Amino acid sequence: MDISMKSLFVTGGLGFIGSNFIHKLLKSGEFDLVINFDKETYAGNQENLAFFESDPRYVFCKGNICDAELVSNLLFEHQPEAVVNFAAESHVDRSIDGPEPFVQTNIVGTLRLLEAFKSYYNSQSDDRKSSLRFLHVSTDEVYGSLKPEDPAFCETTPYAPNSPYSASKASADHLVRAYHHTFGLPVLTTNCSNNYGPYQFPEKLIPLMILNACEGKNLPIYGNGSNIRDWLHVEDHCSGILSVLQQGRVGETYCIGGASEKTNMEVIDTLCDILDRHHPAGAPHNQLKTFVTDRPGHDHRYAIDFSKIKNELGWQPSYSFEEGMEQTVDWYLNHQKWCENVTSGKYQRERLGI
């Protein structure tokens, strides 16, 4: 069933994927109101949505998804048709250094968000309930690691998380499922492969390599660079989420992939080739590659079979890997001020008035 929606409550909307999703919503002209609820952690940047600051359709509310009372008050005030949950601690290396914030945000936060939504949902008329949705955005990392010969992850792949980050996301996925089966909440879950594209925080592989290469710094590669990921352009991910939100079957999970399995070495070589053409240096950029000690418990391969969302909802990625990487490099090269503000921490100092 295609659900018509005019107002959405988006958590974590200042982050990489959340801000791209809000760009898509507001540029489409289909939505009357988007409420962006974000804690403004290091990964949340107001500059990502500066274009919409004076747009009456856009409302920013600062807060923590662990604050169920605040979330509940905002839901009752704005009466959105859907909650889309992007809010999460998401960097594996940070989860290894300190797992507790991942438990608090990804597990406790999701629980509190579900409780607030349950209260809001139960207050609505039966007619209104039929159009409400709670969509939880998750990751393929909950499925563990694949061997080279293994079939790609799909919605029925058993969970086998291997890092504190993926374990916390798996726990959140289970809570969302439980709130549907126990309380009848109209939930949906998406599990995506590795995203890349505009506004990604530069601790992640692709923006880190682009910015390091532009500055003539080393390009650090874990292990021997053979780890494989399925790469999904963030704009394709956002279109997939919107398809699931509007057409997906309540209670179901949909895997969203990019059909672009690449080793880390292939990703870096592609970036270097593009930068050699668009941002030439004194020597080929691939001479900056350097190998570093591998991440503890580094999953070898991720891949997603997105047959379900393709067959049921007609979604498939529009970007090829090569097109997406060209667009991404071009975006970072043409947004140097954004990059400088993020890497220097200026965006945080301005927020704090320092």
Helix axes of 16-28 and 234-247: crossing angle, nearest 10 degrees: 60
- The answer to the question of residue 126 being in a domain is yes
Q: Which of 38, 81, 89, 140 is catalytic?
A: 140
- The answer to the question of residue 85 being in a domain is yes
**Residue whose entry in the numeric block shows the structure tokens 């909950």:** 142
Please give the distance of CA 250 from its chain centroid, rounded to a whole number.
Answer: 21
**What residue numbers bound the domain in which 62 lies?**
7-200+234-260+303-319
- The answer to the question of residue 78 being in a domain is yes
Residue among 54, 58, 87 nearest 70 (CA): 87
pLDDT more than 90, % of the chain: 90
- The answer to the question of residue 1 being in a domain is no
Q: List pLDDT tens digits, range 92-142.
A: 889 999 999 999 999 999 999 999 999 999 999 999 999 999 999 999 999
pLDDT more than 70, % of the chain: 97
- CB of 116 within 8 A of CB of 68? yes
- The answer to the question of residue 32 being in a domain is yes
115 is known as an active-site residue? no
Q: Domain containing 312 — which CATH number?
A: 3.40.50.720
- The answer to the question of residue 190 being in a domain is yes
Beta bridge partners of 134: 83, 187
- The answer to the question of residue 247 being in a domain is yes
Q: List pLDDT tens digits, range 268-277.
A: 999 999 999 9
Q: In angstroms, rounded to a whole number, what is the distance separating the alpha carbons of residues 340 and 351?
A: 15
Q: Which of 120, 165, 254, 332 is catalytic?
A: 165
93 is known as an active-site residue? no
2 is known as an active-site residue? no
Q: In angstroms, rounded to a whole number, what is the distance separating the alpha carbons of residues 214 and 203?
A: 15
**Residue 348, pLDDT score:** 64
The two tokens of residue 162 are 């291997």
Residue among 288, 256, 130 nearest 189 (CA): 256
Helix extents (H) in the chain = 16-28, 68-78, 92-97, 100-102, 109-122, 126-129, 164-183, 205-214, 234-247, 264-278, 307-313, 321-333, 336-344, 346-352
Q: List pLDDT tens digits, range 267-314.
A: 999 999 999 999 999 899 999 999 999 989 899 999 999 999 999 999
**Residue 16, pLDDT score:** 96
Residue 354 has pLDDT above 50, yes or no: no
- The answer to whether the Cα torsion of 270, 205, 50, 243 is positive or negative is positive
Count of domains in the chain?
1
- The answer to the question of residue 54 being in a domain is yes
**Residue 62, pLDDT score:** 98
Q: Which of 81, 89, 141, 235 is catalytic?
A: 141
- CB of 323 within 8 A of CB of 260? no
